[in-house]
């Protein structure tokens, strides 16, 4: 039993990583490696665990598209779009007010060593 709707929402999407993964999937579906690179700072084990939790909650679908695995928001996950956008917008505004730095989208990729495919 929940005592507040926010309690239910945070039970499903709460925690730093679940919301971040959902925000990236809100943009578009991603192959596993592509999505993984967008979420630096999380261990491989934790990343996989959070993806499974989001699948179990019915927010993310996993589709095998050989040789890749693709993740996308389900219809239920897409229903979070306005809430995720509100969090995104608030984060941008908060960063502007406080001077917090938000890395550009390709910053995670720049932090890693180039692979042969990048050359």
- Residue ranges per structural domain of the chain: 5-114
Q: Tokens standing for 67?
A: 């040789």
- What is the distance between the alpha carbons of residues 38 and 18, in angstroms, rounded to a whole number? 13
pLDDT in tens, 13-40: 998 899 999 999 999 999 999 999 999 9
- Considering the four listed CATH numbers 1.10.10.10, 3.90.180.10, 1.10.1530.10, 3.30.565.10, the one that applies to the domain covering 5-114 is 1.10.10.10
DSSP 42: S
Mean pLDDT calculated for residue range 72-92: 95
Question: Residue with structure tokens 């491989």?
Answer: 44
Read off the pLDDT band of 65 (50, 70, 90). Answer: confident
Among candidates 79, 102, 92, which has minimal Cα distance to 13? 79
Mean pLDDT calculated for residue range 40-66: 96
- Main-chain dihedrals φ then ψ at residue 62, nearest 5 degrees: -120, 125
- Main-chain dihedrals φ then ψ at residue 27, nearest 5 degrees: -65, -50
User: How many beta carbons lie within 10 A of that of residue 92, not counting itself?
Assistant: 12
């Amino acid at each position: 039993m929940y005592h507040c709707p926010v309690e239910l929402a945070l039970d499903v999407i709460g925690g730093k990583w679940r919301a971040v993964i959902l925000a990236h999937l809100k943009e578009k579906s991603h192959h596993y490696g592509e999505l993984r690179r967008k979420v630096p700072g999380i261990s491989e084990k934790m990343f996989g665990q959070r993806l499974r939790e989001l699948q179990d909650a019915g927010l993310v679908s996993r589709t095998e598209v050989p040789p890749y695995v693709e993740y996308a928001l389900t219809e239920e996950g897409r229903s979070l779009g306005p809430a995720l956008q509100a969090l995104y917008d608030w984060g941008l505004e908060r960063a502007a007010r406080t001077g917090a730095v938000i890395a550009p989208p390709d910053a995670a990729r720049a932090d890693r060593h180039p692979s042969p495919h990048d050359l």
